[in-house]
Structure 1
Amino acid sequence: MSRLRRDPRSERSRHRVEGAARPRFDLAAAPSGLHGRARRDPRAEFRLAQVPGTARLRLDRTQRVAALDLAPAARAPEPQAGPRLVAIPEPAFLVAAVPDAPGGRLTPHDRQLLGAARLLADAGGGAVLVLAGAPADELARAGADRVLALPVTGYDPEARAMALQAVLAGLDIRHVLLPESPEGGDLARRLAALTGEPLFAGAESLTARAVTRPAAGRRTEQRMVPPRLLTLAADAAAAHAGTLHEALEVAFAFPPLPPGAILSADDVPADPSRVPLAEADFVVSAGNGITDFASFHDLVEALHATPGASRVVCDAGLMPRAAQVGASGTVLEARCYFALGIAGAPQHLQGVARCEHVVAVNTDLHAAMIERAGLAVVADAQKVMPALLSLLAEKAADAETHDAGAGESEAEAVDA
């Protein structure tokens, strides 16, 4: 056993008062080395709590601990250790993960993909190679040991598939994981056609020894050893957490890629006000604490967001029923959810459970939405909205001034 055994005789001898005819013990003396808490003396506490100069007995209980100095010494806060850095200098093999990473940032599905790759790599002394362009610190926290950016810009799935084929041919890669998403699924099928590798699509569970997916209308289950090429469904694996990895850049000479059939492709942004809530990326919702809906709609337009509402607002006819957020309305998968004056009923919280970031404004500090939010503002939403509109207007004016100054500088340089 690791716990020290008490010695009552030695403890008794430490408290004994020397020089007395009869054995006497001072129980309020300093404690022994085995115990760090002093023994209370109720009589001494009572005497110290008495208020002098009064006819009736009065006690001041606030001075008890301070006068006796029995309060435990305040311990200095222990420095929190950061995540442990894991380095794999010579991996036995590589597990490649190809996340979508829209806009250079990892989505929750991408983090789950890297967690599954981490699971396969740790089973045999391998390393995770991420084939995407994203910040190195974000990839390190997500579990990436190596990073290699593909030399493809914009939307060109044919060129990306050929670049991946070159990586598979030039590096020792045991598994390639892609998300079962519109872009990831299309890229996986193109890669399977180029390499001739069998594709295990839509895996819903993954371990180091087996991968499974439903079949025949979910009446049966297909199971096999993890193949070289597979796609992972959403929520099929847990994201990596705990350790920090190196995310070292890998030098690789890509062969010249022949031009594909796609000459140019541009992303046409949709009107946020017309995007369905289930597909929206940024949602701003109004609750029972909003009365100025003109300012609310101005704020939604200034933030380029999709408008939403709570059930109370929709029942009152202040917002259309299609804008209702919650279990009885629309369950969101937005990147950011901004709740204005919403207390947070259980059905509403179910509708925002999949949102990556939640920002809430409410006057009640103990509201459920405040507790759910990653960033909370305890204030009146009616006052917060004009302040945000004013701040956004200032930012827009500064941006226009900067652009105008840059344009004049370019014109002067041309004239010179």
Structure 2
Amino acid sequence: MTRQRRDPRAEERQQLVAGTLRRRLDRTQRAAVAAPVIAAAPVTVTEAAPRLRVIAEPAYLVAVVPDAPGGRLTPHDRQVIGAARLLADAGGGAVLALVETPSDEFGAAGIDRVLALPVAGYDPEGKAEAVAAVLDGLSLRHALFPDSADGGDLARRVAALSGEALFAGAENLSPKAVTRAARARKAEQRRAPPRLIALAADAVAPHAGTRHEAAMLAFTFPPRAPGAVLAAEFIPADPARVSLAEAEFVVSAGNGISDFDAFRALATALNATPGASRMVCDAGLMPRAAQVGASGTVLTANCYFALGIAGAPQHLQGITGCEHVVAVNTDLHAAMIERAGLAIVADAQQVMPALLRLLAGEDA
């Protein structure tokens, strides 16, 4: 039996990426020019249905009060749910989510029951009263909060209303103990998990097991007397004036951007905070405060939109905390393209005006 010889030149021609100034090879095309093999019979792969865990009669309930802005769980919320699962699974309990807006992502996050709170808009006083009512009415064993700006404030309000002690800033949690740092991190406070716990970020891993039922739970809330605050609303800050460390949506320019007027117009149209790579800031094209990366600002943004940024290691370190990354670059093999959840292999100079036209309602 003779074996066909490998032709490296043919493989290289197959892998060559057209339309680039520099010579680029797409190594994923290696299999396309491999020696022919005998075709096997097609195999039909049937994906197994995801497992669903149903706790029909839980021994007790562990409540989670996530921030869930707009009904969407944050990474910190998912970590708090993971901590609640540790406490619930230790003795046959179930996790109950107390939220304003139920969502279909609660089951995958590890929620067994969902209870909608009768709160609309920004009403921390009313939300605290509703959570306190559930805490007493359902005899919850534990109630966990994210120790964030909103979650920490709510946890302290609930503690004041219920008279329960709050263990805030928890950094480690197990069914037997909860701990936090004390005395400028020179000591550690440890005790059995109390009823109210506010969990710090990155203290417990999120739930990554089977999907849970996330069934709606009925509860009759007591009538509420009018509060001292008649109306309240959030006034969004100007994204152009928000620091990168606090920005939720960042559009960043790299070495592939030359039209910075169009870049600033796009950042304004997207209602995003403008950022830049180190090379752009070193060239004086953007202020130093806009630099993203380990030597600039480390982001915790919900979305990072990189235009013409190749993705140096220091820059990638600065966007580790970003939940979603969108990248536009002509280099198919750029590190930023690999990091992105959505990548556009194109010239950012051509993408920017096209996006501006779409945002303005014009034909692209």
TM-score (norm 2): 0.89
Which one of the candidate residues 52, 57, 60 is aligned to 1:90?
57
Q: What is the alpha-carbon distance in structure 1 between the residues aligned to residue 333 and residue 41 of structure 2?
A: 30
Q: What is the alpha-carbon distance in structure 1 between the residues aligned to residue 150 and residue 237 of structure 2?
A: 18
Matched, 1:183 2:150: yes
The answer for the alignment partner of 1:348 in structure 2 is 315
Cα gap change, 1:63/1:104 in structure 2, threshold over 3 Å: closer, same or farther? closer
- State which structure, 1 or 2, has the greater radius of gyration over its C-alpha atoms: 1
Matches within 5 A, 1:278-357: 278-357=245-324
The answer for the alignment partner of 2:325 in structure 1 is 358
Q: List gaps (5 residues or longer) in structure 1.
A: 1-41, 50-61, 398-416
TM-fit CA distance, 1:172: 3.1
Contact 1:106 1:134 in 2 (8 A): no
Q: List gaps (5 residues or longer) in structure 2.
A: 6-32
- My pick for the range that moved more, 255-264 or 130-139, is 130-139
Matched, 1:203 2:170: yes
TM-score (norm 1): 0.78
Cα gap change, 1:84/1:290 in structure 2, threshold over 3 Å: closer, same or farther? same
* 1:325 alignment partner, SS class: coil
The answer for the alignment partner of 1:401 in structure 2 is none
Q: What is the alpha-carbon distance in structure 2 between the residues aligned to residue 145 and residue 271 of structure 1?
A: 39
The answer for the alignment partner of 1:370 in structure 2 is 337
TM-fit CA distance, 1:224: 1.1
**% same residue:** 70
TM-fit CA distance, 1:64: 8.3
* 1:162 alignment partner, SS class: helix
Matches within 5 A, 1:7-406: 42=1, 45=2, 71=38, 73-394=40-361
The answer for the alignment partner of 1:57 in structure 2 is none
Cα gap change, 1:287/1:237 in structure 2, threshold over 3 Å: closer, same or farther? same
Q: What is the alpha-carbon distance in structure 1 between the residues aligned to residue 172 and residue 89 of structure 2?
A: 17
**Number of equivalent positions:** 336
Q: What is the alpha-carbon distance in structure 1 between the residues aligned to residue 70 and residue 174 of structure 2?
A: 30
Q: What is the alpha-carbon distance in structure 2 between the residues aligned to residue 261 and residue 353 of structure 1?
A: 42
Cα gap change, 1:288/1:64 in structure 2, threshold over 3 Å: closer, same or farther? closer
Q: What is the alpha-carbon distance in structure 2 between the residues aligned to residue 267 and residue 63 of structure 1?
A: 60
More helix by share: 1
TM-fit CA distance, 1:257: 1.0
What letter matches 1:207 in structure 2? Answer: S
TM-fit CA distance, 1:134: 3.7
TM-fit CA distance, 1:63: 12
Cα deviations by residue, 1:71-129 (Å, 9 ceiling, x for unpaired): 36255242222431111111000000001111221111111111111111111111100
What letter matches 2:300 in structure 1? Answer: E
Cα gap change, 1:291/1:151 in structure 2, threshold over 3 Å: closer, same or farther? same
Report 1 or 2 for greater relative contact order, CA contacts < 8 Å, sequence distance ≥ 6: 2
Q: What is the alpha-carbon distance in structure 2 between the residues aligned to residue 63 and residue 234 of structure 1?
A: 49
Cα deviations by residue, 1:163-215 (Å, 9 ceiling, x for unpaired): 11111111131100001111111111111111111111100011111111000
Cα gap change, 1:65/1:301 in structure 2, threshold over 3 Å: closer, same or farther? closer
Q: What is the alpha-carbon distance in structure 2 between the residues aligned to residue 188 and residue 95 of structure 1?
A: 15
Contact 1:84 1:242 in 2 (8 A): no
Q: What is the alpha-carbon distance in structure 2 between the residues aligned to residue 153 and residue 334 of structure 1?
A: 26
Contact 1:136 1:247 in 2 (8 A): no
What letter matches 1:368 in structure 2? Answer: A
Cα gap change, 1:207/1:367 in structure 2, threshold over 3 Å: closer, same or farther? same
What letter matches 2:81 in structure 1? Answer: L
What letter matches 2:92 in structure 1? Answer: G
Query: RMSD value over aligned CA atoms?
Result: 1.9
